[in-house]
Amino acid sequence: MTIKDDIGQLSRNLEKLGLQQVIVENSLADDSFRVVYINKNVRKQGSEQSTPGKGKNKKSSS
């Protein structure tokens, strides 16, 4: 079984598996795909931690 077949089988059984389909971005490569897992059981943290790697830019003008 290929990865493409596995993705197709997953897509057909989303509700049964407790998964939800999300819109994916188009790619220039025909045989590319993206798999995203979202853990809804994790509690949301503060907005500062919601975008890791993006710190606040604290520039002051005088």
Q: Spell out the domain ranges in the chain.
A: 1-40
Higher per-residue pLDDT: 1 or 60:
1
State pTM to two decimals: 0.35
The residues, ordered by sequence, that sit 6+ positions from 35 with a Cβ below 8 Å of its Cβ are 7
In contact, 21 and 14? CB cutoff 8 Å: yes
Q: What is the pLDDT of residues 6-62, one digit of tens each?
A: 878 888 888 888 877 777 666 656 666 677 777 777 766 554 454 555 555 555 555
pLDDT at 48: 45
**Of 39, 40, 34, whose CA–CA distance to 10 is shortest?**
34
The residues, ordered by sequence, that sit 6+ positions from 56 with a Cβ below 8 Å of its Cβ are 48
